[in-house]
A and B are shown apart, each in its own frame.
Chain A
Amino acid sequence: MSETKATVPDIGIIGLLRWAWRQLTSMRTALILLMLLGVAAIPGSLFPQRNQNPQRVDAYFTSDPTLAKWMDRLHLFNVYASPWFSAIYLLLFISLIGCVLPRTFHHLAAIGKKPPLTPRNLDRMEGYRVVATDSSLALESAAKWLKRHRFRIRIAENSISAEKGYGRETGNLLFHLSLILILVGVALGSLFGMKGEAILNVGDRFINTPTSYDNINYGKFQGQGSLIPFSLTVTNFVATYDPVTSQPSNYVLTTQIANPVGSTPKTVVIKVNKPWTSGSTKVYLQANGYSPIVTVRDKSGHITFQGPVIFLPQDSNLSSLGAIKIPDMTPQIGFIASFIPTAGSSAKRGIFSTYPEVLDPRLVLSAWQGNLGLDSGNPQSVYSLDTSKMAKIGLKALTLGSTYDFGVGSITFDGWRAWVNLQIVDDPGKLYALYGAIFAILGLLISLFTRQRRIWVKVGSDVEIAGLAKNGIPGLEEELVALARALEESKGGAA
């Protein structure tokens, strides 16, 4: 028992903490954490992530609910916000801070300090050579040469030690400090930022208040009152497509923005790579689609619904799917419909879209009668119809301007409007992240392209020179040759 006590001294809680801190901030731990972070990032790229692709996550839950439940418990559908991922990067950055800050102080303290003393045995160092020169003048001319080549030197009684390339450590520290700045920027963005989306038809007006959004997420410390008070009216949206490949070639959204609300509106053009910016808030053009305009009448010809209905695009030719719900008729009426911008047809596929622009539109409808289920209390998607309490009463493909009489009423395909999906983002941290990134590259360049090396000159019975290059970076040999030549020449000059 007494032996055990002797080998494990009671270090107390402080001692234990100090030991843990030393372990955490060691280079080895930092390296392992860095590798671990890379490995931990992998599952997020293999499994669908809820915030990127919720439909595919749902597909996991339908195909194998038990497995999906367990995967969800392990946060595999939300890797980058999971406790284990956060734990790794927080530990890494604590480790980084613990590693870098003391080194920074150490480095700052070393500014202006002289290089360490000349070692006793130079012949063990790199590029050791004996120079044939006058030993009385050697130190003086060596000092001159080293100063001219911007070495820091320490002159001792019969030796000189010189060092150059402190920039390597400066760059190295700048790089790691910048990484910390990037993390601060990321943290600021996620704690004080906001992100929301809104779908608007051409002609609609958007006022920047929480209720105008289709969905909105705030950072932990971001209040609802922080939205900047602007209003935006969608005046026009033009999409151009490549006639050969049907791929989009340009999207131009024209808006009238009043910032703040009530001021004189300005015309603002928003494109995919050209968001509108006000302070740290930006408005992006994210997606677009079509809203067919319909008029629904009851048997007596009274209008029960009129207007554009937002449909969601299903393919690259913008075949769009949506639901039209008429709760004000008894029994209630609903339509599952697809909007085909340019109709083509084949025996196999029926009617389908051949081009994303509206050239020859169709509205293909299936009409349902019964209970829309809107009063059930469960939230319902506006893009789909719950047909569990409904019966199908008809099917029809409408051309522009035509009307379908489904017995208890009629529906007319009046036209269409384009809609745009705007993403509104406020990220107050991103400038810090950007500065961090710029300084990180700068630091990296300085550190990787600065050669740090020491050179010693020793005058005894002979004049000896040698050097040491950090990490064996080449170029030292050439410098020593040049120094040796300078020393030899100084002898010639003195003679």
Chain B
Amino acid sequence: MTSTNLAYFSNGAIYACLVIFTIAFFAHTYEVSWSVKNVAGHDRTEFDLNKTARAGRLGTAMMVLGFIILGIADLTRGLSAHRVPWGNMYEFSITGAFMLTGAFLFAYVKYKVRWLGLPVSISVLLTLGTAITVLYRPSAPLVPALKSPWLAIHVLAAIISGGVFLVANLVAATYLLMERYEKRGGRPQWAEKIPSLENLDQLSYRLVAFVFPLWTFAVIAGAIWAESAWGKYWSWDPKETWAFITWVAYAAYLHARVTVGWRGRRAAWLCIFAGSTFLFNYIWVNIWGTGLHTYSGL
């Protein structure tokens, strides 16, 4: 296939992913909401998992399929430009969505957290939708500043970290919601199969602890690259500044947990705050910020 054909193929695959993740989203929604049934003769409702287990399985199958097709879309996008597929914000977004799905599937295999499929599929849908409509740029070669092996290393590390941070955020948000329900007298039935508060708390901590060294590495790899491209390893460019702020926020989170012993609600809020600094960096600095990280209009 020629470069142009590959690029078109990649676009087609992204549209296919939009459909697949929409199905995944509806399957997960159905699984959660239709499992509630009224008990005859009572105004009580009951939660019947078996009723919708098939929808849940369909959702997971769609997540796996979406992961594969998205991977192909990403790969062909890269091949069409003869480089790694993260040269502009459109490409960061589709690679990021791929990583997020991957992080979910990893967490699913390891911790059996199918319920996460609902927030993950909606996040992926939103990311891909914005990417293909607002952020889309035709496939093109890189500007000279991006021509470096560090592009593959630095950006990949940042994207993976971002994907895991977002999953940790979703888990922490779920914690807060469940905690609220339990305080008000118990979870609604659709939320029964979501893991215990303690498990949610541990899971978000473990995700952050697992990926924090990678994020540290992403920042340092960026500094090494900056040294060879811009002549200074750290110049407080807005993107660098916010990467640093994210790093500080997660460092504070880890200290708060390990040294001070924060758990539960406070820890979850701190985790969400730290994740928001990452999102802010990705969205605000890329679109409205100025500085050395702005290339080729997004």
A residues neighboring B (CB under 8 Å): 27-28, 31, 34-35, 37-38, 41-42, 44-45, 48-49, 52-53, 56, 79-80, 186, 195, 242, 244-245, 247-251, 271-275, 282, 284, 286, 423, 425, 427, 430, 433-434, 437-438, 440-441, 444-445, 448, 471-472
Contact = CB atoms under 8 A, between A and B. Distances in A.
A316 to B, nearest CB: 9
Nearest to A179: B251
Interface in B232-254: 232-238, 241-242, 244-245, 248-249, 251-252
B141 interface: yes
Contact of A248 (B143, B229, B289): B143
A272 B144 contact: yes
Contact of A31 (B150, B209, B234, B256): B256
Most chain A beta carbons < 10 A, residue from B150, B210, B230, B260: B230
A471 B258 contact: yes
B220 interface: yes
A273 B148 contact: yes
B144 A249 contact: yes
B145 A272 contact: yes
Contacts of A441: 213, 216-217, 220
Most chain A beta carbons < 10 A, residue from B209, B235, B241: B241
B290 interface: yes
B233 A433 contact: yes
Nearest to B291: A52
Interface in B41-55: none
Nearest to B237: A52
A483 B251 CA distance: 36
B244 A272 contact: no
Given A49-B236, A272-B144, A41 B241 contact: yes
A42 B245 contact: yes
Contact of A284 (B230, B248, B252): B230
Given A31-B255, A45-B285, A284-B230, A273 B235 contact: no
Contact of A44 (B141, B216, B236, B257): B236
B259 interface: yes
Contacts of B143: 247-249
A272 B147 CA distance: 8
B186 interface: no
Given A34-B255, A430-B227, A53 B209 contact: no
A472 B144 CA distance: 49
A308 to B, nearest CB: 23
Given A45-B238, A273-B148, A437-B223, A53 B290 contact: yes
B259 A27 contact: yes
Nearest to A239: B144
Interface in B198-229: 202, 209-210, 212-213, 216-217, 220, 223-225, 227-229
Contacts of A49: 236
Contacts of B259: 27, 31
Contacts, number: 124
A4 to B, nearest CB: 34
Given A44-B241, A430-B233, A471-B258, A38 B144 contact: no
B52 to A, nearest CB: 31
11 contacts: A35-B248, A38-B248, A42-B241, A45-B238, A79-B236, A249-B143, A272-B145, A275-B228, A441-B216, A448-B209, A448-B213
Interface residues of B, number: 53
Contacts of A56: 290
A423 B232 CA distance: 10
A37 B233 CA distance: 19
Nearest to A172: B258
B220 to A, nearest CB: 4
Interface of B: 138, 140-145, 147-148, 150, 202, 209-210, 212-213, 216-217, 220, 223-225, 227-238, 241-242, 244-245, 248-249, 251-252, 255-260, 277, 285, 289-291, 296
Contacts of B145: 272-273
A271 B245 CA distance: 31
Contact of A274 (B142, B228, B290): B228
A195 B213 contact: no
Contact of B140 (A44, A242, A438): A242
A34 B144 contact: no
Contacts of A31: 252, 255-256, 259-260
Interface of B is mostly: helix
Most chain B beta carbons < 10 A, residue from A52, A186, A195, A423: A52
A45 B216 CA distance: 20
A467 to B, nearest CB: 18
B260 A250 contact: no
Contact of B260 (A27, A44, A438, A445): A27
A472 B258 CA distance: 10
Given A195-B231, A471-B257, A247 B140 contact: yes
B16 to A, nearest CB: 26
Given A27-B260, A251-B144, A472-B202, 4 more contacts: A31-B256, A433-B223, A433-B233, A448-B213
Contacts of B228: 273-275
A272 B229 contact: yes
A444 B147 contact: no
Contacts of A427: 232-233
Nearest to A274: B228
Contacts of A272: 144-145, 147, 229
Nearest to B242: A45
Contacts of B233: 427, 430, 433
A427 B256 CA distance: 36
A94 B274 CA distance: 25
A437 B220 contact: yes
Contacts of B141: 242, 247, 249
Contacts of B210: 448
Contacts of A28: 260
Nearest to A81: B236
B213 A45 contact: no
A35 B144 contact: no
Contacts of A434: 224
Nearest to B224: A434
Contacts of B249: 35, 38
Given A272-B147, A444-B212, A52 B256 contact: no
Contacts of B236: 41, 44-45, 49, 52, 79-80
Most chain A beta carbons < 10 A, residue from B144, B237, B238: B144
A448 B206 CA distance: 10
B273 to A, nearest CB: 10
A334 to B, nearest CB: 32
Nearest to B223: A437
A284 B231 contact: yes
A248 B209 contact: no
B282 to A, nearest CB: 14
A427 B260 CA distance: 38
Contacts of B225: 273
